[in-house]
């Protein structure tokens, strides 16, 4: 890619897509194509093909997806598998048909088996059963990976697939019914602080271990790999370190300034026991994560206060 290349970001309003747009603009890229859902419904094949035929982008970042945490995945399995299959099928096929030079497909670390060896290497894909609470999303993402590989093999289409670990940062979803664990905890602790609550209840035992990557790091890695990587094998994108959910809760408590108790509810699901990515392949390309977890959580909380949290009412 050069600074004048035509680059389409599918899902530019989402957590990852908006970060990729910020990163590209910061690097001086000037020809960035975006469409809102109202302007282009990625579930509609004809509309997607028409967009690609008219605009003819040279590069595509496929960051559009239906995403959510354990509760959302468990509640809407049909939507998670249907919508994600449609989005990625329509975009990947239309990109190839219109002569796109290169496509970057963004998957998820949940594609790996629930009990995969730790840290999880790319070779562990399809070696065991998935985590039941998000298998619908995972199966759709695996299909996207295989579609990229199939189009590369049959049509020589340059498509790469990146598997990010758990992401967080500006633009995240803070809805308690559909968000992932980190933004959900930020909101819970914030609301407990504002209400003067004596305790915050966290789902599960607090024992599962998770890896968290700031979305600005993910965007930087995506642009880097679009420029330097062009192989069929998927690439894990993470930091190479993890924390327990209990440790994460303490990071969030500190960032928010909450002083009450933290209580864990073991009747709620824990999900996968551990998800730590092997980032050896990523590091071999010359890229490493830069944002420390505590700093990233503080930045995300500041963004939440400015953009999501209700304004405080000043006493007269």
Q: Which 3 state secondary structure label does DSSP give 264?
A: strand
For 11, 14, 199, 308, the CA distances from 35, given in Å and listed in that order, are 8, 12, 43, 23
For 113, 124, 125, 183, 312, the CA distances from 165, given in Å and listed in that order, are 14, 15, 14, 15, 34
Residue 185: which region, alpha, beta or left (left: phi > 0; alpha: psi -120 to 50)? alpha
> Among 137, 151, 168, 229, which one carries the catalytic annotation?
137
Q: Give dist(CA 255, CA 300) in Å, integer.
A: 9
Q: Give dist(CA 25, CA 47) in Å, integer.
A: 27
Angle, in degrees to the nearest 10, between helices 135-155 and 77-97: 20
List, as residue ranges, the binding site. 11-17, 106-109, 141, 164-167, 180, 188, 203, 210, 270
Is 258 a catalytic site residue?
A: no
List, as residue ranges, the binding site for substrate. 188, 203, 210, 270
Residue that is written with structure tokens 């468990």 in the block: 74
* 54-80 CB burial, b ≥16 within 10 A, e <16: eeebbbbbbbbbbbbbbbbbeebbeeb
The two three-digit tokens of residue 95, written as one number: 């990109």
Paired residues of 32 in beta bridges = 7
Residue that is written with structure tokens 């007269």 in the block: 316
Q: Give dist(CA 279, CA 211) in Å, integer.
A: 12
Query: How wide is the angle at C-alpha 17 spanned by C-alphas 64 and 21, nearest 5°?
Result: 145
List, as residue ranges, the binding site for NADP(+). 11-17, 106-109, 141, 164-167, 180
Name 315's Cβ contacts closer than 8 Å, sequence gap at least 6.
none
CB 66 within 8 A of CB 80: yes
Q: Which residues are catalytic?
A: 137
């Amino acid at each position: 890619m050069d600074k004048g290349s035509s680059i389409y970001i599918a899902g530019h309003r989402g957590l990852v897509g908006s970060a990729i747009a910020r990163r590209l603009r910061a690097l001086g890229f000037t020809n960035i194509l975006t469409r809102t859902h109202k302007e282009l419904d990625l579930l509609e094949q004809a509309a997607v093909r028409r967009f690609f035929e008219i605009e003819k982008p040279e590069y595509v970042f496929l960051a559009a997806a239906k995403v959510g945490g354990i509760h959302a995945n468990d509640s809407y399995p049909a939507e998670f598998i249907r919508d994600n299959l449609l989005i990625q099928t329509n975009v990947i096929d239309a990109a190839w048909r219109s002569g796109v030079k290169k496509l970057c497909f963004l998957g998820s670390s949940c594609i790996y088996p629930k009990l995969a060896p730790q840290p999880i290497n790319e070779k562990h894909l399809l070696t065991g059963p998935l985590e039941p609470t998000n298998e619908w999303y995972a199966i759709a993402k695996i299909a996207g990976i295989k579609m990229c590989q199939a189009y590369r093999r049959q049509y020589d289409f340059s498509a790469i697939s990146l598997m990010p670990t758990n992401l967080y940062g500006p633009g995240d979803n803070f809805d308690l019914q559909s968000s992932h664990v980190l933004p959900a905890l930020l909101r819970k602790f914030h609301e407990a602080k504002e209400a003067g609550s004596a305790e915050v209840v966290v789902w599960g035992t607090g024992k599962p271990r998770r890896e968290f990557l700031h979305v600005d790091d993910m965007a930087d890695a995506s642009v880097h790999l679009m420029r330097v990587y062009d192989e069929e094998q998927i690439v894990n994108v993470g930091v190479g370190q993890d924390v327990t959910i209990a440790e994460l809760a303490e990071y969030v408590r500190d960032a928010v300034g909450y002083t009450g108790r933290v209580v864990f509810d073991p009747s709620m699901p824990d999900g996968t026991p551990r998800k730590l990515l092997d980032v050896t392949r990523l590091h071999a390309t010359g890229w490493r994560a830069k944002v420390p977890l505590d700093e990233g959580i503080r930045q995300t909380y500041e963004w939440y206060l400015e953009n999501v949290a209700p304004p405080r009412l000043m006493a007269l």
